[in-house]
């Protein structure tokens, strides 16, 4: 077999106590969180809007939305999407590249909050924890529907 055959790369991010896998191309950039302006009448986990180089994007604290507790690492803002479809997710620490191979067998994901439930594609036991492989489009759609109070 050729080197790398059957290998899938994902971006691994920590959100509170969760370990999330997303497609490598799902994140446009990772920056330190800029100032955020709160929006009235929205869920508390929708932290508000941030101006990132002239583009105004919504910033979501997924750890707060999923009630997973805060992380202990430096917070960063993972920006995904472009223009009107852009969204920023607060993550704990910098993302890392995770290589999944045929040897990584899916496992049953633990119980997660309804906000994340429909977006889970699969789960893998790695590095002493469970990594949840997430469909970003479904997650962002669910976040958009649930953000207004």
pLDDT tens-digit map of 54-68: 999 999 999 998 888
- The closest of 77, 66, 70 to 29, measured between CA atoms, is 77
- Looking at the DSSP bridge assignments, the partners of residue 30 are 78
Tokens of 140: 């962002």
CA distance 84 to 86: 6
Confidence at residue 2, expressed as pLDDT on a 0 to 100 scale: 45
Average pLDDT over the chain, rounded to an integer: 87
Is residue 14 within 8 A of residue 91, CB to CB? The reply is yes
Which tops the pLDDT comparison, 94 or 149? 94
Query: For the purposes of burial, counting CB atoms within 10 Å of the CB of 97, is it exposed (0-12), middle (13-18) or buried (19 or more)?
Result: exposed
**Residues of the chain above pLDDT 70, percent:** 93
pLDDT at 14 over 90: yes
Confidence at residue 69, expressed as pLDDT on a 0 to 100 scale: 74
Task: Give the strand pairing for 75-80 and 55-60.
Answer: unpaired
Q: Where are the alpha helices (DSSP H) in 19-95?
A: 62-66
Model pTM score? 0.85
Q: What is the pLDDT of residues 119-128, one digit of tens each?
A: 999 999 887 7
Average pLDDT, integer, range 62-85: 85
Confidence at residue 149, expressed as pLDDT on a 0 to 100 scale: 57
Cα separation values, 129 from 43, 96, 114, 125, Å: 29, 15, 21, 6
Q: Where are the alpha helices (DSSP H) in 1-149?
A: 62-66, 114-117, 136-146
Compute CA 134 distance to the chain's CA centroid, rounded to the nearest angstrom.
8
């Amino acid at each position: 077999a050729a080197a790398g055959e059957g290998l899938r790369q994902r971006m691994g991010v920590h959100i509170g106590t969760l370990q999330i896998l997303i497609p490598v191309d799902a994140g446009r950039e990772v920056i330190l969180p800029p100032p955020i302006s709160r929006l009235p009448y929205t869920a508390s986990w929708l932290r508000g809007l941030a101006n990132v180089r002239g583009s105004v994007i919504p910033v979501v604290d997924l750890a707060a939305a999923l009630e997973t507790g805060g992380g202990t690492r430096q917070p960063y803002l993972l920006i995904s999407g472009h223009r009107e479809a852009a969204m920023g997710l607060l993550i704990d620490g910098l993302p890392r590249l995770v290589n999944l191979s045929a040897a990584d067998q899916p496992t049953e994901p633990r119980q997660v909050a309804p906000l994340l439930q429909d977006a889970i594609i699969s789960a893998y036991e790695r590095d002493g924890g469970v990594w949840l492989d997430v469909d970003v489009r479904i997650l962002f759609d669910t976040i958009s529907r649930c953000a207004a109070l």
